[in-house]
């Protein structure tokens, strides 16, 4: 990863637990009954449209973000998305640090 990528949190995942998926594969994976679908956008963005059965855990809500992530089941796959892929990438790294083993991030985000 480049120096700029490290400074600004850009670049790919740093854990084998995180997989970045194209839209088609992400949507197919969401169909898994065990999947936990998490939208890390703001509540306003979420209201403008989201995937069915997604849980909104606002990345910018620093007070509740970590608490809500901790309530997710580490034994089930987590599918993350945001608007462009930046917030979900950071959330995926956070989940990997928390011990989650199966994390899928939507490439390019919900746009």
Whether 52 is in a domain gets the answer yes
In this structure, is residue 27 part of a structural domain? yes
* Residue 5 forms part of a structural domain: no
- pLDDT, residue 14, reads 56
Tell me, yes or no, if the pTM score tops 0.75: yes
Question: Do 56 and 41 meet the contact criterion of CB atoms below 8 Å apart?
Answer: yes
pLDDT in tens, 20-74: 999 999 999 999 999 999 999 999 999 999 999 999 999 999 999 999 999 999 9
53 within domain boundaries: yes
- Residue 42 located in a structural domain: yes
What residues make up the domain containing 44?
18-106
The per-residue b/e assignment along 30-48, b for 16 or more CB within 10 angstroms, e otherwise, is: beeeebbbbbbbbeebbee
CATH of the domain at 42: 3.40.250.10
Q: For residue 58, is it within any domain?
A: yes
- Tally the domains of the chain: 1
Question: Higher pLDDT residue, 45 or 6?
Answer: 45
Question: DSSP secondary-structure letter at 78?
Answer: E
Tell me which residues are annotated as active site.
Answer: 82
């Amino acid at each position: 990863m480049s120096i700029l990528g490290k400074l600004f949190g850009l670049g790919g995942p740093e854990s084998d637990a995180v997989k970045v998926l194209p839209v088609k594969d992400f949507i197919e994976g969401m169909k898994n009954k065990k999947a936990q679908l998490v939208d890390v956008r703001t509540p306003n963005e979420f209201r403008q449209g989201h995937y069915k059965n997604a849980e909104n855990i606002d990345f910018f809500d620093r007070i509740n973000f970590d608490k809500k992530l901790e309530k997710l089941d580490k034994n089930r796959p987590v599918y993350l998305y945001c608007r462009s892929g930046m917030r979900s990438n950071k959330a995926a790294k956070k989940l990997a640090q928390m011990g989650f083993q199966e994390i899928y991030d939507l490439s390019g985000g919900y746009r």
